[in-house]
Amino acid sequence: MNASVGVKEDKVYAPKVLLNVNGIPNELKACPQWVVWKGIPSNSRPGKIDKIPYQINGYKASTTKPDTWTTFEKAVDAVQTGVYHGVGFVFTKETPFSGVDIDSCIHDGKIDQHAKELLADLASYTEISPSGSGFHIIVMGKKPGTRSRKAGSSVEIYSSARFFTITGCRFEGTPDTIEERQDILNKIYKEMFEPDKPVIHVSPQIDVS
């Protein structure tokens, strides 16, 4: 199996980051939770690309239906046919992995300060996304609540029923291993969502006897 796999390039969408098979952690490769994907123009987000998961047989995949997933090796073989843009990993409740997506944080080769801080805090396997403008960080641990993204934020956290496009293009200086980071996930989740809780004002009790 080649280390670098050329992915599909067409007039609709062309990933800027090649699939590096050898850069992907073995812990992920061992899980039969892989799909392939195609990038298509988004109907709901003008100018954006939606990444749609597919089965290797050409039908669409579902992040909640394991019978639509496959092995890593078969997913890579499907990409090599030139039909799909890349491979993706599905997060599940049964496996210990979670993904932190930091979108649009690389500008002209410079990384936003907030993204730098998250990379340093999580200190786990981190790769550059297919667009070349963001990061995917894989950790061991689960998000402590049901929310995944705060409105207006470029950060998303997923632990199940979601897939990440995987490039294997590890960001230099970050670990090549997936680390246990439950405490850090808890901290990030709290910082993202707890300020949104409404303030409850309790009326004072008046004794009118």
Residue 183 a catalytic site member = no
d(CA 204, CA 209): 15
Residue 9 a catalytic site member = no
Residue 103 a catalytic site member = yes
**N-to-C CA span, the chain:** 84
Given the residues 27, 77, 103, 179, the one annotated as active site: 103
Residue 127 a catalytic site member = no
Q: Do you know the residue count of the chain? A: 209
User: Which segments within the chain are labelled E, that is strand?
Assistant: 4-5, 19-20, 34-41, 49-54, 86-91, 97-102, 106-107, 110-111, 126-128, 135-140, 155-158, 162-166
Q: Kindly state the helix (H) or strand (E) to which residue 186 belongs, with its residue range.
A: helix 182-193
Question: Quick check: 181 and 123 in contact, CB under 8 A?
Answer: yes
Which amino acids are annotated catalytic? 101, 103, 136, 156
